[in-house]
Structure 1
Amino acid sequence: MDLETERLKLEPYHPSHYEGLRIMEGDPQIMRYISNGKVKTPDETWDGINRVMQRWETYGFSWWAIREKMSGMVVGAACLQHLANVEGAPLEIGWRLIADYHGNGYATEAARAIIEFAAGHVGATYLVAVADPKNSASQRVMQRLGMTFKAVEQHYDVPCVVYELQLHRGEQSNGQST
């Protein structure tokens, strides 16, 4: 399901997103907090797109490519998924952006749309977000979203800061419920 914000369109992963995702996943600076700087190979990017497309079929949510409306460019990706891809785990929101698009508020804008989707379409009442403890930019996004620090926990085989958010059905992007 596509999501739209004032400046962005979020589209479930599709093969047409490959080039934009390659730019992001091939950048060691972007991947430093995700995979200790290990970039993905072209085949790994294709595998990821296919895996995410399957998750959309299974769960009705997963990763979206973030497209800037004005330029039409893929500027990043954001997700709603089971934490660490463990079925039954709490739902996690996450994001990453191509470096040229950092600092524009796109991660916060995309995450707010996903929070609304999670509450309104999935019926989620609780979300988490995780980040490398050194990733202060992601932690600031979590705080702007109204999330609160929970703990440092082990996820994805690494220590992660965990932030949490309690939701109510019909949650609005400003953190107020309807």
Structure 2
Amino acid sequence: MTVLFTERLRLEPLSERHLDGLHAMNSRPEVMRYISGEPETREQTAEMIARVQRCWAAWGTSWWALIELQSGRLAGAGAVQHLRREAAPPTDLETLRSNPLELGWRLHPDFWRRGLASEAAERMTAFAFNDLSAAELLAVRHPDNVASGRVMDRLGMQFRGLEPWYGMSLATHSLTKAAWQRAGAAEH
């Protein structure tokens, strides 16, 4: 399992040791507003961690805990994972392997408006394109989640429209490896 670093974050594959910090974030209504609409119970957070660990084993990627280096606190979570059409995760993760890779993130409100989502998303994008050899990455959001839309715009993602993912109609954005490489070349 891969640990990644940015200037201010350490991205660690989610494990049981992140349960308290992850639950402190996922139990907040404002965090889950555009994700499930409901705060998670501790049991749901523990189930998420167990599912994530199966994904890491199956795919070599999934959700990371975003640990702020300065404080050591869990600032959020971010993922490169296979999208799914259905609301509930399948028992057989191999059925998702043919679906596109998704870039995702969420932050604890204590860490909002600091640029950490963009910082983590940039590092996870590089991981997807360089380490996983992805040709394209998608990111999905509730249509009202403007803040996530801004992160997607900063990454250079293009809006594709509303598409059915996770049992909902979600704003879907995409970034190809070629466009990402062109943008990187333009920055130097």
- Mapped to 2, the partners of 1:56 and 1:163 lie a distance apart of 24
Give 1:55's aligned amino acid: C
Question: How many Å separate the matches in 1 of 2:107 and 2:7?
Answer: 17
Instruction: State the shift of 1:39 in Å.
Output: 1.3
RMSD: 1.8
Q: Which has the higher helix share?
A: 2
Deviation at 1:87, TM superposition (A): 2.8
Match of 1:135 in 2: 145
Partner of 2:13: 12
Say whether the 8 Å CA contact 1:151–1:163 is kept in structure 2: yes
Q: Which amino acid aligns with 1:142?
A: M
Segments of structure 1 that go 5 or more residues without pairing to the other structure are: none
1:87 corresponds, among 90, 94, 97, to: 97
Identity of aligned residues (%): 41
Task: Work out which of the residue numbers 155, 171, 175 in structure 2 matches 1:145.
Answer: 155
Q: Deviations over 1:109-157 (max 9, x none)?
A: 0011001101111000100000000000000000000001111111111
Matched residue, 2:40: 40
Pair 1:27-2:28 in alignment: yes
Secondary structure in structure 2 of the residue aligned to 1:51: helix
Report if aligned partners of 1:126, 1:164 keep a CA contact under 8 Å in 2.
yes
Cα distance in 2 for residues equivalent to 1:20 and 1:56: 20
Deviation of residue 13 (structure 1)? 0.5
Distance 2:81 2:145 in 1: 20
Q: How many residues align?
A: 175
| Other structure's SS at 2:20 match | helix
SS in 1 for 2:130: helix
Deviating beyond 2 angstroms after TM superposition, the runs of 4 or more aligned structure 1 residues are 84-87
| TM-score normalised to structure 1 length | 0.93
Q: Which residue of 2 aligns with 1:72?
A: 72
